[in-house]
Each structure stands twice: as structure tokens, then as C-alpha cells.
């Protein structure tokens, strides 16, 4: 759960913020049926690069001395590495993709905000149930006119890259009045029930998130400026090399396109998903997308009737345009697929799904 030193709880707003474009609320449509919210998208690494990433993670963990830290690494909008639990990974990954990656920082889209007048402001403040780490009040009066300003941590134009490579924010302005550490956002980890400071470092398309226990900073056992210097001295060369290696082997936005397939694979245990690139999904006919949407509704209904018990299932529907849409659910994993060869029989379709499962999913969706 992402939290801020202003006491602002924003987990409830993370996914809601994805739907805002300017002042408009855009809800998901059937055209997003091959996308799974609440999951992360992983980057597949070459073996030598994976070894280098693991070495970098160890260096990041040691930047705070003997104190236990956590880290997350992203390349563009894809997860490279994480030492967090699945739930914490999803929350922080979602926030990072919206606000901290190189793509998010270069986005020109405006964001929604809270600015309330009158007694309605107290309703917002009552939702915050944690004492602030710093000295900021999330709500304050202005010139006695009862206007209240609420800190806006989901603003996408409030994060910038500093000269040292670390991301900085002026969300809290200069109101902390004390240590610069007071203005650094904090993360609440669900698994360990710890509050951690968030440091974000970026080199080109590679974004590193380092989490450090706040009590160590408050007690004087650790200095954030010292940790930053340690990261620059010990990890910068590794970061540069890893970014170069990944960029050299990266296939671009269509890297995970598989010819002949439009697909979504979800692992509910690890909360990881992979899907056809959005540009390829848009090539599907409207009838195919509507059939996929109907298929997902059927699966959701079956899962609801199962009342939390795992149930293997396979559903095949032939759409009005003769396209086959398929769903397979087994052992916590889900596969959704559209095959647009209208001449294929059900047997041809089953064989195609089997080939996909064997080659790209280690046979996870083979049905007896």
C-alpha cells in the first residue's frame, strides 16, 4: 500500500487514477478485455543479464548497511526485479508505472486533484488514520477563508529527475520546515507491516526504487543523503551496463507479440500477467472483442459460483464473425485467447492453444 508522509492514504485511489484523463473519468471498455488490472507485467531477461540484475539487487540491499531494505527495478513499464511480496509489488508497480517511470515523467497528460471548500474537507481528512512522518498537515486553512488544500501525490507533473539521477517531488513544497527527509514519500508494506522511505533513481529507461525503514532515519541510524551517495558510488556502473544490455535486446512495444494469437495469460498466485501488445489487440474485430468480453464474464461467473475453490475449466465460443475465443483456467492460472482464422475447426483451435501452452507457458494450460 502506498502511503505518504502527509498521512494521505492512496491505495484506494491507485486504480481509480488510471481511469482519469484530465478531468474526465474514462472507465474500461470491452476493448481492454485482454488486460488484467491488479497484476504486474514482467520483462524476460537473458541469463547473463539476469545474473547482473541479481548482483545489482545485492548492492542495493547493502547501501543501507546492516538494515533490511527492499528494492524494485523496472525497465520502461515492465518489472525486472522485486524483493517485495506479491501484494506490495502490485501496489508499488502500479504507482511507479503511473508516476515514476521515464514514460510517466515525459507524459503531458494532466491529472486530477482534490481542492475542496467548506466543511467537505473534514471528510477527506478523516480518512487518514496514520500520524505523519514529517511535519506536514495534509489539510491547512488559507487566510481564514476555510479553503483546504489536500496534498496530491498522484499528480503526474510533480515528479522530476534531479541532476544526480534521483527523482524529486515538490508535492510538499517547502512546508516541511525541517529535515529534507520529511518530504520524502513513505511506503506501507502489507506483508511486514513496516513503513519505509521511498527513493527512486532513474537512468534512461531503467527505474530503481529503494525502500528503507523510516525508524532508522528517525533514530539517526541512517542518513538518506548517505544512502544516495552509496547508490551512486556502488551501483551506477552496474545500472548503466544493465540498461544498455536490456535496451540492446529489447524488441520494443511488440516484443511479446505472437503471430496468429491475441492472448492474455494471468498467474493469480504471483499476480503476474502477460498479453498481446495493445496495438495488436486493436486489430481484432469488434465482434471478436465482444465475444472475449462475454467469455471473461462467463469465467468470472463460474469462479464466483465456485466460492473460492479452484476449479479447472475450458470454455470455447465461436463469435458471429466465425472467430474462436477460448478460456482455460487451471491451478491458479488463466488463459484467454482469440484465433481469427474463421476456417479453423474446434479441433484446430484446441491444437493451436496446446502449441501456445507448450511453447510459451511450459505446458501449464494443457487439458487432459
Number of domains within the chain = 2
Kindly state whether residues 280 and 308 are assigned to the same domain: yes
More confident: 136 or 343? 343
Q: Which domain holds residue 227?
A: 2-250
In angstroms, the CA 339 to CA 260 distance is 7
| Percent residues over pLDDT 90 in the chain | 37
Kindly state whether residues 57 and 24 are assigned to the same domain: yes
Q: Which residue, of 216, 250, 284, is where some domain finishes?
A: 250
Kindly state whether residues 18 and 70 are assigned to the same domain: yes
In angstroms, the CA 164 to CA 283 distance is 42
First-to-final CA distance of the chain: 40
- Provide the grid cell at 23: 478531468
Grade residue 121 by pLDDT with cuts at 50, 70 and 90: very low
Kindly state whether residues 187 and 284 are assigned to the same domain: no
Q: Which residue, of 191, 221, 250, is where some domain finishes?
A: 250
Residue 6 domain flag? yes
How far is residue 19 from each of residues 105, 110, 237, 294, 302, measured CA to CA in Å? 18, 12, 38, 22, 27
Residue 49 domain flag? yes
Instruction: Give yes or no for residue 219 having a pLDDT over 80.
Output: no
Kindly state whether residues 97 and 131 are assigned to the same domain: yes
In angstroms, the CA 102 to CA 205 distance is 6
Residue 74 domain flag? yes
Provide the 3-class DSSP secondary structure of residue 37: coil
Instruction: Give yes or no for residue 41 having a pLDDT over 60.
Output: yes
Nearest partner of 91 among 264, 267, 271, judged by Cα:
271
Provide the 3-class DSSP secondary structure of residue 207: strand
Residue 66 domain flag? yes
- Provide the grid cell at 76: 520502461
Residue 349 domain flag? yes
Residue 366 domain flag? no
In angstroms, the CA 354 to CA 252 distance is 27
Cβ-in-10-Å burial (0-12, 13-18, 19+) of 173 comes to exposed
In angstroms, the CA 82 to CA 72 distance is 4
Between the CA atoms of 279, 202, 185 and 229, what dihedral angle is there, to the nearest 10 degrees? 170
Kindly state whether residues 321 and 200 are assigned to the same domain: no
More confident: 150 or 202? 202
Residue 340 domain flag? yes
- Provide the grid cell at 13: 485511489
In angstroms, the CA 29 to CA 147 distance is 37
Grade residue 11 by pLDDT with cuts at 50, 70 and 90: very low
Kindly state whether residues 222 and 101 are assigned to the same domain: yes
Instruction: Give yes or no for residue 357 having a pLDDT over 50.
Output: yes
Kindly state whether residues 215 and 77 are assigned to the same domain: yes
Residue 365 domain flag? no
Instruction: Give yes or no for residue 27 having a pLDDT over 60.
Output: no
More confident: 224 or 218? 224
Nearest partner of 205 among 237, 261, 175, 244, judged by Cα:
244
Kindly state whether residues 176 and 54 are assigned to the same domain: yes
Grade residue 181 by pLDDT with cuts at 50, 70 and 90: low
Q: Which residue, of 250, 278, 299, is where some domain finishes?
A: 250
Amino acid at each position: 500500500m502506498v502511503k505518504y508522509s502527509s498521512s494521505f492514504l492512496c491505495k484506494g485511489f491507485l486504480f481509480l487514477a488510471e481511469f482519469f484523463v484530465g478531468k474526465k473519468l474514462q472507465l474500461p471498455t470491452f476493448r481492454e478485455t485482454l488486460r488484467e488490472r491488479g497484476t504486474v507485467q514482467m520483462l524476460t531477461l537473458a541469463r547473463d543479464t539476469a545474473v547482473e540484475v541479481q548482483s545489482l539487487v545485492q548492492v542495493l540491499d547493502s547501501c543501507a548497511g546492516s538494515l533490511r531494505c527492499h528494492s524494485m527495478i523496472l525497465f520502461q513499464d515492465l518489472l525486472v526485479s522485486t524483493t517485495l511480496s506479491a501484494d506490495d509489488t502490485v501496489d508499488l508497480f502500479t504507482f511507479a508505472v503511473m508516476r515514476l517511470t521515464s514514460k510517466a515523467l515525459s507524459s503531458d497528460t494532466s491529472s486530477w486533484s482534490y481542492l475542496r471548500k467548506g466543511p467537505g474537507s473534514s471528510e477527506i481528512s478523516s480518512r487518514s488514520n496514520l500520524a505523519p512522518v514529517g511535519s506536514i498537515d495534509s489539510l491547512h486553512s488559507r487566510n481564514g477563508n476555510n479553503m483546504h488544500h489536500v496534498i496530491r501525490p498522484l499528480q503526474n507533473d510533480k515528479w522530476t529527475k534531479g541532476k544526480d539521477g534521483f527523482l524529486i517531488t515538490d508535492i510538499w513544497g517547502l512546508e516541511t520546515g525541517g529535515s529534507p527527509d520529511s518530504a520524502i514519500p513513505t511506503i506501507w508494506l502489507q506483508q511486514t507491516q513496516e513503513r519505509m522511505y521511498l527513493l527512486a533513481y532513474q537512468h534512461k529507461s531503467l527505474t530503481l526504487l529503494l525502500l528503507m525503514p523510516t525508524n532508522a532515519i528517525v533514530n539517526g541510524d541512517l542518513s538518506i543523503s548517505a544512502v544516495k551517495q552509496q547508490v551512486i558510488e556502488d551501483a551506477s556502473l552496474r545500472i548503466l551496463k544493465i540498461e544498455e544490455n536490456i535496451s540492446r535486446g529489447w524488441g520494443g512495444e511488440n516484443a511479446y507479440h505472437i503471430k496468429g494469437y491475441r492472448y492474455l495469460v494471468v498467474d493469480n498466485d504471483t499476480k503476474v500477467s502477460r498479453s498481446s501488445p495493445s496495438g495488436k489487440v486493436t486489430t481484432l474485430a469488434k465482434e471478436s472483442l465482444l465475444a472475449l468480453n462475454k467469455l471473461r464474464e462467463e469465467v468470472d461467473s463460474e469462479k464466483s459460483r465456485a466460492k473460492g475453490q479452484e476449479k479447472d475449466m475450458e470454455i470455447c465460443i465461436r463469435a458471429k464473425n466465425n472467430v474462436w475465443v477460448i478460456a482455460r483456467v487451471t491451478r491458479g492460472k488463466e488463459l484467454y485467447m482469440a484465433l481469427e482464422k474463421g476456417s479453423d475447426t474446434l479441433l484446430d483451435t484446441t491444437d493451436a492453444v496446446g502449441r501456445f501452452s507448450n511453447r510459451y507457458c511450459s505446458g501449464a494450460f494443457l487439458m487432459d
